[in-house]
Amino acid sequence: MKGMQKIKRGRGFRGVVDYCLADKNARLLFLENIAADDPTDIARELIRTTKIKNPEKPTWHNSLRLPRGEKLSDEKWEEIAREYMAEMGFTENHAYAVFMHDDPAGQHVHIVASRVGLDGALYLGQNENLRSTKIIRKLEAKYGLQQTHDGADT
């Protein structure tokens, strides 16, 4: 399983949510602390968290990709994504959306999160790219997934 080369942060939620759903093989997998089901409302719910605290770049985006030919059930992806986010340091108070891309190059999920928790806590993500690589390796071993060499999407 690979993550993006560099975890992305941004100023807006709508563009990244639209991007995650633009592909013909894309769909919403699950939501955490978001009560919506269409892209506009998902983005609005994420934006609402910035009313509590408004950092310059409240948007956090990463993807987790399986090697070509390897597939997981939706339930297993949800389990892995939740564990990944917890290990990254996001708490049960953070809102995020997980989108599935089931394409021939490799099944993968995009995770879009607010760095601002519903309790006002700000996710700082120190050394998050290195941390992400270590977590991915741990998840690969735990779930019997093919071991990737670099842990990053190229």
Could you read off the pLDDT of 24-61 as tens digits, one per residue?
Answer: 999 999 999 999 989 999 999 999 999 999 999 999 99
| Mean pLDDT taken over the chain | 94
Is pLDDT of 152 > 70? no
User: What is residue 15's three-state secondary structure?
Assistant: helix
Domain ranges in the chain are 2-145
* Fold adopted by 2-145: BirA Bifunctional Protein; domain 2 (3.30.930)
User: What average pLDDT score do residues 54-70 get?
Assistant: 96
Output DSSP code: residue 116: B
pLDDT value at residue 37: 87
* Spatial distance between the Cα atoms of 145 and 149, rounded to a whole number of angstroms: 12
Per-residue pLDDT reduced to its tens digit, 79-98 = 999 999 999 999 999 999 99
Q: Is residue 35 packed enough to be buried (19+ CB in 10 Å), middle (13-18) or exposed (0-12)?
A: exposed
Is pLDDT of 149 > 90? no
User: What average pLDDT score do residues 64-80 get?
Assistant: 96
Beta bridge partners, 89, equal none
Q: Computed from CA positions of residues 60, 89, 39, 77, in that sequence, does the dihedral angle turn out positive or negative?
A: positive
Q: How confident is the model at residue 72 (pLDDT cuts 50, 70, 90)?
A: very high
